[in-house]
Structure 1
C-alpha cells in the first residue's frame, strides 16, 4: 500500500507515530508524511528548522512534506490556538499540491482535532479513504487540559469534530472507553475500531545500566518520564513528594522530560525544600528511556481528575509495561484499570496527594521479590495486549480490510 500519514507532530519530535511509520515501511509499504516544522515540546523550532526552512526531507526512506506553522511558544492559550490553526491552514494548502495517489490516509490525532482538515482536503481531491486515529477526545480535552469553558467555542469545536468524524471512513480509538463518547457524537458504531498504542521495539526488559546508575541518587527511585504538562497533574506529584519527604527521605522522585509546568515544578522544589528528593534530569532521546527505566525501582504515571482523562490509557503505560517495571499510578479509569488488571503496581485515585504518598511509601516497603513479580507481570500483560508486531499486524488488517 501507499499510505499518507497526516500528523502535526513527527520526527525529530518524539511521538508514537514515528514508529508506526517505520513499522509500515518495514512491512514493505510506501509511506509519506504530511506534518509541521518540529517545535514540540520546547515551543521553538528545532535546530536547522525555521518558518522558512526546507519543506521536503527524507528520514529512513520516508518522504516528509513539512509545512509552515506558528511555533507553540510557551503554550499559552492564544499561541497554542495559533499553532493549531496555522498547521491546519498550511497543511490544507499543501494537500492541494502533494503529487501522486495514495491508497489510504492515516491521521494521527493526539491533539488538535484540526489535524483532520488537511486529510479531508486531500480526500476530496483523490477520494482516498481516511483512517482517523483518536488519541485525545475533542472538544472534551480542551476543557479538561486547557480550561476552556466558553460555550460558543466548545460548540464550534464540537461541530468541527463531528464533521471530521463524518468525513473519515474509519475511526480508530486508543481506548475502548472512547467508544461511548463517539457514539454520542453521532459516529456509527461500525466505523469505530479499538486500536491501542504500542511502543518502539527498543522498549525491553534490561539489566540496570551502569552508565545511568552512576548519575542517579541513592535510595528508592520513583521515575516519571514524559511531558511535564497540565494534564499530568504535577500539583499532586509535588504535594505527595512533600508528604513523603517528611516520612522517608530515601525515596527519590526522578523526573525526565520537559513541558509548560517545568517552571512550576522547579518553584515547588525550592518552596518545599525538596532539592535532595525531587531531581529534574531534563529531556533525553526516547531510545535512552529503557536505560533510565532499568535503574528505577518503579515508574510513575499520573493524570488530573477529569472524566475524559479517566477514559484514556496514557501511552507511557505501554512503555512502562514493556520495560517490565512496577508502576505507581495516580489516575482514574482505564489507565488505573490496566495497571490493576496486569497486577503491575499500585494505584491511587487522581488528585489525591495523601493517597499517592501512601502508595509511594508502600511501594518502597515491598521486598525485592515482590517488586520483581510486579515487573514480570508488566511484561506479560504488555506481550498479550500491546506488543508492537501484534498491533502492526492489526493495523495492516484494518487498512486492508476494514
Structure 2
C-alpha cells in the first residue's frame, strides 16, 4: 500500500505552480496526499476571489486534501520598501501559522508517512516540514528551487549581517535536519553541499523539473490575436513578470529591431508589469508587443504554437547562473526554439540541446543580433532538438519513478 504524503507548499492551486501537478500525479500513483498551504494571493498580492481566512480553508481538489492556513497577502506597491515589508509579513505569517498547525490535533490526525516541502521562495516554509518531521518522527524531503539567503540578498538588496546572518543559520538548520534534499540543477547541488557549513553530499540529489503532459507540440493556430501566418517572427514569454525576470531588456531590443518584422508576445502578470509597460511606452515600441493577461497553464501550448520561439531572461546577478527556470522545460516540451538572455545552467541546457541561442544577460545589442540570426535559422530543427532533449532529460514519468524510489529508500 502506498503511503501518505504531507506536502508543504506556501503556493498551491489555484496559484499556478508545478507542485499542483506533482500532487495530482502522486494521487494517480496511489499515494494519499494532504497539502498544507496558504491563502492564494500570488502573483498579484491580494487574495483570490472566494478565498480568505474563513472561506475555503479546507478543500478536496483532484483527490488532494488541501488545508489552508492563514497568511498575510503579499500586497503590491510601487514602493520597494513597502513591497519588502509586505513580502516579509507574507513569508513569516505562513511560518507562524504553520508552527501553530503542527501542534494541532488536525496535524496529529494527518498521520503522514512522508513530509515533502516544495521550496520556491520562501525557504522559511521548510521549517514547518522540519517541525512536523521531528514532532511525528516522519522522514523529511525538501525540494530546493531558490537558494537562501542568496535569493533574499539579490531580490531585496539587503546585505546587513544582522538580517542575513539569522536567515543563514535558519537555512543551516533546515539542511541539517532534513533527511533528503532534492534540487533542480547540478550547480545547485554544488552550492548546497559547499556552503560555509557543508551539507552531507549523500543526501543532496539533482532532480530536475519536468513539464506537464499538456505541454506538447501543437499545430500552429490563430489565437488571441496572434496569427502564425502573418510573416512576423514572434517570440513568446510566458509566466510571472517580476524584476528577477530581467524583461527590461526587451523594450530596448524592440527599439533596435524597429525595422524588423518581429513581435514579442508577453503572456502573464506580476508586480513588475506596470513598470514594464511604462518602459514599452517610453521607447515608443507598443507595436512590437502583444500583451496577453495571465492564462491557465493548459492554454500556454496553444499560444506557443502561434509563435516561433520562447524567451527566457534574468536580471544580472550570479545567483541565476545556478537556476533552470520551469519555463525552459515548458518551451522544450512544446518543441519550441529558445532565445535566452541568460547564463550558467540555462545556457548549458540550450547549448547541449542545440535548440536556440543564449546571449549575455541584459545586453540588448547582443540579444537583438541573436534574434536576427534566429530569424534566418532552422527554427523547426531547433524545436525538434528541444523536444528530443526534453524527452531524454525531463520526462515526467521517469522522474516521478525516480521520486518513488527515493521514497522507498527513505521508508526502507
Q: Give the TM-score category using the shorter length.
A: over 0.9
- Please state whether the residue corresponding to 2:243 is helix, strand or coil: coil
The aligned counterpart of 2:204 is 192
Superimposed CA distance per residue, residues 6-46 of structure 1 (whole angstroms, 9 cap, x where no aligned partner): 00000000001001001111111111100000000011111
Deviates more, 1:203-212 or 1:261-270: 203-212
The aligned counterpart of 1:230 is 243
Q: CA deviation at 1:141?
A: 1.1
TM-score by length of 1: 0.96
Rounded to whole Å, the distance in 2 between the matches of 1:399 and 1:257 is 35
The aligned counterpart of 1:14 is 16
Does residue 364 (structure 1) correspond to residue 372 (structure 2)? The answer is no
Q: Pick the aligned partner of 1:239 from 243, 252, 256.
A: 252
Rounded to whole Å, the distance in 2 between the matches of 1:127 and 1:182 is 24
1:312-391, aligned counterparts within 5 Å? Answer: 312-366=323-377, 370-391=378-399
Q: CA deviation at 1:142?
A: 1.2
Contact 1:234 1:261 in 2 (8 A): no
Rounded to whole Å, the distance in 2 between the matches of 1:224 and 1:100 is 40
Q: Pick the aligned partner of 1:103 from 96, 108, 113.
A: 113
Contact 2:339 2:358 in 1 (8 A): yes
Q: Pick the aligned partner of 1:168 from 166, 170, 178.
A: 178
The aligned counterpart of 1:126 is 136
Contact 1:5 1:105 in 2 (8 A): yes
Contact 2:235 2:263 in 1 (8 A): yes
Contact 2:255 2:285 in 1 (8 A): yes
* Number of positions where the alignment pairs a residue of Structure 1 with one of Structure 2: 397
1:291-310, aligned counterparts within 5 Å? Answer: 291-310=302-321
Rounded to whole Å, the distance in 2 between the matches of 1:216 and 1:262 is 25
TM-score by length of 2: 0.94
Contact 1:92 1:119 in 2 (8 A): no
- Please state whether the residue corresponding to 1:324 is helix, strand or coil: coil
Q: CA deviation at 1:232?
A: 0.5
Q: Pick the aligned partner of 2:100 from 93, 96, 104.
A: 93
Q: CA deviation at 1:54?
A: 3.4
Contact 2:8 2:118 in 1 (8 A): yes
Q: CA deviation at 1:211?
A: 3.8
Q: CA deviation at 1:153?
A: 1.0
Runs of 4+ in 1 over 6 A off after TM superposition: none
Q: CA deviation at 1:53?
A: 2.0
- Please state whether the residue corresponding to 2:244 is helix, strand or coil: coil
Q: CA deviation at 1:238?
A: 2.2
Unaligned 5+ segments in structure 1 are none
Contact 1:330 1:348 in 2 (8 A): yes
Rounded to whole Å, the distance in 2 between the matches of 1:200 and 1:209 is 21
The alignment's C-alpha RMSD in Å is 1.4
Contact 1:67 1:87 in 2 (8 A): yes
Contact 1:212 1:295 in 2 (8 A): no
